[in-house]
Amino acid sequence: MVSANGIPITNIRIALTKRCNLACVYCHREGELPSSGADREMSVDDIDTLLSVASDLGIRKVRFTGGEPLVRRDIVDIVGAASRHMDDVSISTNGVLLAPIATQLKEAGLNRANITLNTLSAETYRQITGTDAHADALAGIEAAYDAGIMPIKLNMVLMGCNKHEVRDMVSFLKEGMVLQLIELISSKEEECEAFYQENVVDLTMYEAWLEDSALRIEERQKHRRKKYYIPQEVEVVRSMHNTTFCANCTSIRVTSDAKIKKCLFDDNPTHSIEDFSDREAVREALLAAIREKRPYWC
């Protein structure tokens, strides 16, 4: 199945919850509003049906996001259900709750993990997240590595408070890990001008350093993104106003309450799944959203 601009849709991102155990200052919450404490969340059976139908439509990869997906007590069952339908199952997590269940997740079928680690400093971590969970996040990364979840991509959103740590983060990488240096993003920069003026970091100087330091450089053409090997892989992720990245997007998104979003910045999704027992209705909702999907940055 292809989008309105002719791109095959092969990935689905599912936000399992709006809840999170951190309060990161920059978080876009996957485009959702904060949890009210009584929000609907899809069940394991709902997700199983959704991914079964998605697989029939040619979708082969799923990424679970949030909120923080690991606050779901049934997360291992969710991953197990996903692995029955998808060729690739991944998760985006802050890692704080990961250590006790990393092996279970791997055994259930989790292939990869993106783990947010913006700093190696406990104090800066507290400043960014509002918590003292830095040690737990580090333990989660270690446990995932030991469990054989590969690759592990460490997401580092660059801001004024952590911009001096890039070299240390590169040195922190183990074999098989990837560091993603991520541009601070928002679809509403004008509403957050003070925050962005204070925190946005120009990534150009880091790209220059990576160019000089890399043993090898590759480029992901459809993302307009270079991969620097020094020797572990480092990527610079610029999604803001990146028309190439946006035009080649292969993902559709489903919110925790089963609304289908064509894009992270789709603030008013027009399609949702009301009854998961009706497979045809699930299929039609997904198809309608995919057919309407167009680049946001153009």
Confidence (pLDDT) at 200: 85
Enumerate residues 6+ apart whose C-beta is below 8 A from 127. Answer: 25, 161
Asked whether residue 214 is domain-assigned, the answer is: yes
Structure-model confidence comparison of residues 243 and 230, the more confident one: 230
DSSP 203-245: THHHHHHHHHH-SEEEEEGGGTEEEEESSSEEEEE--TT-HHH
Confidence (pLDDT) at 10: 95
- Each residue's pLDDT tens digit, 76-135: 999 999 999 999 999 999 999 999 999 999 999 999 999 999 999 999 999 999 999 999
Q: What residue numbers bound the domain in which 206 lies?
A: 11-292
C-alpha to C-alpha distance for 2 and 296, rounded to whole angstroms: 16
Average pLDDT over residues 203-223: 91
Asked whether residue 3 is domain-assigned, the answer is: no
Asked whether residue 5 is domain-assigned, the answer is: no
Asked whether residue 297 is domain-assigned, the answer is: no
How is residue 228 written in tokens? Answer: 């620097």
Asked whether residue 78 is domain-assigned, the answer is: yes
Asked whether residue 6 is domain-assigned, the answer is: no
Domain total of the chain: 1
- Model-level pTM? 0.92
- Each residue's pLDDT tens digit, 18-30: 999 999 988 866 6
55: domain CATH number is: 3.20.20.70
Confidence (pLDDT) at 27: 84
Give Cα 79 distance to the centre of its chain.
15
Asked whether residue 114 is domain-assigned, the answer is: yes
**Do the bridges between strand 61-65 and strand 216-220 make them parallel or antiparallel, or are there none, so unpaired?**
unpaired
Asked whether residue 227 is domain-assigned, the answer is: yes
